[in-house]
Amino acid sequence: MSDSTVNIVFKPTLKQDSLFEAFDDSLTTECLYGGSAGGGKSYALCALLILKSLQYPSIRIGLARNELTTLKKTTIISFFEVAQNWGLKINEHFTYNSTAGIIKFFNESEIILLELSYKPSDPNYTRLGGHLLTFGVIDEVGEVDEQGFQIFKTRLGRWKNDEFNVKPICVMTCNPIKNWLYKEYYKPSVDGCLKEYQKFIQALPTDNPYISKSYIENLAKLPFADRERLLFGNWDYSDDPNSLINYEDILNIWHGVPTPKEHSKKYITADIAFTSDKMVIILWDELTMENIIVNPEGNIEDIITQLAIANNVPQYNIAFDSDGVGKFLEKRLQRAKPIVNNARALNDENFKNLKTQLYFKLAQKINDNQIKSRVDYYKNDVIEELQAVKHKPSSVVGKLEIIDKGEMKKLIGRSPDFSDAMAYRMLFEYTPSSSNKFRFV
């Protein structure tokens, strides 16, 4: 490949220019750019990749997204558009090996495509271990699990950084999303307490002079929550007035966790499944989650029994979903409490069924800052599922009802197995009264 000369004319927006300034300053090693649609995220990212690849011979840049297939269908398409606009030609200025996932420039610089999705077969992301990267870029980092982000950062600063005086910076793009990004970047940015090595650059459609008027008009036609998020960059948008649980209260599950007490009561709840849904088992210390076990191998009765013995959980403090495949446990765990989701609500309260009643009680406990967790694995899954818990609106006075599992699957793309297992803990917030009915405790 010849050492071809190109004449690039790049007129960045003010916000894009801020991104390049962050790349070159002395402190920033984490830069989050975006926070809406149409703010020039893709162009800025691709411009950074190309310009730095041309500026520093033989560096290695990690370009990542949650799913590799999505990266190739979106980010790489934008990369080729920017390259073409700047007069860069494939096989003259760079090559692209789709199978290996490598873009290689004529000066030996490389862009290596990486996937950051969580895989149960590789929970520690060992697949990233062999990569020696100069710096990294993550497109739509809001899709990525926080652990994947943290491990990706450990691969940066390992290739010719001292030679070219390049920081091990991680540049990220995003749309507003209420997950770890909100807590780690957006909220600290608003409160003026970002760490000195972090920077958040919010770029709105109005910050992009090159965007078409019709694009903004289309954003303005979106439903309320999407319009707030993608057009106005509102991170504190309300997804749905029918949501049962406040987002800030969900985040507080992992904060202010009480110290374990010597004689506290322990519980086990389980959402049983032998299909594509997850089997989730939660060990509780009072109202605090101590352990979450997903899809354990072996006999489920033995697993629950061994967990109970190891943690001094009496069998009457075990509850499980007895619908479907969970029904077989009733004869094997005779003192445990089987839960029939569609059973009548306890104490004749005004809920469509028992499952709705337990979810409403879970929402109350979370909003009252009583549900806690000592573990943060599967945190993003728990957050996503709890945000999807909504009640059905009704124009007449009737029994309270939540959206069914099918609707929740449409919202989050999977079964809400974690939140179901959490809701089952609420059964123990009822005790028999003297009339043998149930009441809140």
pLDDT digits (tens, 9 = 90+) for 97-141: 999 999 999 999 999 999 999 888 898 899 998 899 999 999 999
pLDDT of residue 314: 95
Q: Tell me the two tokens of residue 116.
A: 């950051």
pLDDT of residue 434: 41
Reference 117, options 153, 152, 155, 148; nearest CA is 148
Mean pLDDT across the chain, nearest whole number? 88
Sheet-wide strand order for 102-105: 94-97, 102-105, 110-115, 60-65, 135-138, 170-174, 30-34, 198-202
Digit-coded pLDDT (tens) for 194-243: 999 999 999 998 888 888 889 888 888 876 667 878 888 888 765 556 78
Find residue 292's DSSP bridge partners. Answer: 282
Rounded Cα distance between 26 and 49, Å, is 19
| Position with higher pLDDT, 40 vs 102 | 102
Quote the percentage of the chain above a pLDDT of 70: 91
Reference 394, options 342, 426, 350; nearest CA is 350
Reference 31, options 23, 43, 39; nearest CA is 23
Digit-coded pLDDT (tens) for 315-331: 999 999 987 666 677 77
Reference 235, options 250, 219, 247; nearest CA is 247
Determine the length of the chain.
Answer: 441
Whether 251 has a pLDDT exceeding 80, the answer reads: yes
Contact 356, 344 (CB under 8 A): no
Rounded Cα distance between 357 and 346, Å, is 8
Whether 435 has a pLDDT exceeding 50, the answer reads: no
pLDDT of residue 439: 42
Contact 328, 321 (CB under 8 A): no
Cβ neighbours of residue 380 under 8 Å, at least 6 residues apart?
A: 145, 146, 179, 180
Query: Which range, 49-53, 214-218, 403-407, is most confident?
Result: 49-53
Query: What is the sign, positive or negative, of the torsion defined by CA atoms of 244, 246, 250, 252?
Result: negative
pTM of the model: 0.62
**Which DSSP string do the residues of 161-177 spell out, in sequence order?**
HHHHT----EEEEE---
Write down all domains in the chain, each with its CATH number in brackets.
Answer: 14-230 (3.40.50.300), 247-440 (3.30.420.240)
Q: Give Cα separations from 98 to 66, 103, 179 (angstroms).
A: 17, 8, 31
pLDDT of residue 396: 41
Rounded Cα distance between 121 and 117, Å, is 11
